[in-house]
Structure 1
Amino acid sequence: MDKTEILKQYLPDAAAPVIAKWIDYFQCEFKVSRNRGTKFGDYRSPFDGKGHRISVNYNLNAYAFLVTTVHEFAHLYTWDQHQHKAKPHGTEWKSNFKRMMKPFFDLEIFPPDIKRAISNYLDNPAASSCSDLTLFRALKNYDVKEALVISVEKIPANGLFKWKDGRVFRREELLRKRYRCVEVSTNRVYLFNPVAEVELVKAS
């Protein structure tokens, strides 16, 4: 199976040939990675005899996989131009991300809500990365939903949810950008990202 056909397993079909060309052009090692809870993708610059390396989590939906891939290739291209002189998500990276996203806009690959979120993200200098919540929410709309899985922000006030390790929390008020949540068994307070995915605990 050639590179394009493999990429079609993870990307929208029309995007796969473009990404395959980038991999060859930049002589990049591209890896589909296991799920990493703290990040969607990763770029490593050439070091110790190794060339450019990009990895993207295997379990992303096709649109999230594409946005993450372009995000990391923009890091690669920025490094090629400026090495360590440019900030990770600075002006140079934003310009390259916008330029590298254009082919996929031209191909009309993205649904309107994702396209709008990407455009807003690129026009907003305060948004530092793909952790931008508006873009994250738009991409998550296209995930295959699991039963009872919900984001923290959608749990009603004082509602209960279960974290990945089995601990149960009560969702309380929003404190700036995170929700104050109390672990039921210990009464300890934790702060949760609004879009963190948890399991809703239904009232008995």
Structure 2
Amino acid sequence: MKEVLTKYIPENAVDAVYELIKTYRVHFKIVNERVTRHGDYRKNPDGSHQITVNATLNKYRFLITTIHEIAHLVAFQKYGRFIKPHGLEWKHTFRLLMIPFINPLVFPVEVLPFLANHFKNPSASSDTDALLSMQLKKYDAPTNKVFVDELPLGSVFQIENGRMFKKGKLRVKLFECTDLENNKVYLFKPNMQVELLNS
């Protein structure tokens, strides 16, 4: 398992993650990408614990996702099965489990302030934290996608399902973008990745 982990997470995190997997007797599976989630925890009918994490994640997001899912297991064991999946107990557990990893031996120095800020009150997905998400995506494999935040005003872009939009002004933290088919305005997060069609 250690050899497998070295391919997916930062080298200086391997021993500690391996110990967590061993301690909590986790059946750990690396799976093909699922668009709707980075990872998953479940307690099997026989009482064993299974965690799955997407193989396509960069090593920093893979580490955060792994600890996120282990935090579910630990929180349920400590506080019972009836806590909210991403409630206060889970947040507290996730924060405690992540603290040893939030250092320059594991994460790039430029990511650390965004991680520290995120873990003051961790959310159900690091994707909902736009600033952290944009920092982490810098380490993804290259694609033809760009962040909505990076597009010039008036740019035309396409989303996953093929719909096309024109980028408009920033409203508080979201961008107003017009659907070119129905002329309706939709709000986009700055860290949404899209394909630029013109500039």
TM-score of the superposed pair, with normalisation by structure 1: 0.85
Q: How does 1:84-95 map to 2 (within 5 A)?
A: 84-95=81-92
CA contact (8 A) 2:6 2:14 kept: yes
Distance 1:172 1:68 in 2: 33
2-structure distance, mates of 1:36, 1:172:
30
1:120 and 2:117 aligned? yes
Distance 1:42 1:110, change over 3 A: same
Verify the 8 A CA contact 1:14 1:107 in the aligned structure 2: no
Matched with 1:34 is 32
For residues 60-139 of structure 1, what are the structure 2 equivalents within 5 Å?
60-105=57-102, 108-123=105-120, 125=121, 127-129=122-124, 130=126, 131-139=128-136
| 2:147–2:190 CA contact under 8 A, matched in 1 | yes
Q: Identify if the C-alpha distance between structure 1 residues 84 and 178 changes in structure 2 by more than 3 Å, giving closer, same or farther.
A: farther
Q: Percent of aligned pairs with the same residue? A: 35
Question: 1:187 maps to what in 2?
Answer: 183
* Contact residue 121 and residue 132 of structure 1 kept, 8 A: yes
Task: Structure 2 unaligned segments of length 5 or more: list them.
Answer: none
Aligned residues: 197
Q: Distance in 1 between matches of 2:44 and 2:51?
A: 13
SS in 2 for 1:9: helix
Cα distance between partner residues in 1 of 2:47 and 2:110 = 38
RMSD of Structure 2 on Structure 1 (CA): 2.1
Structure 1 unaligned residues grouped into runs of 5+: none
TM-score, structure 2 normalization: 0.87
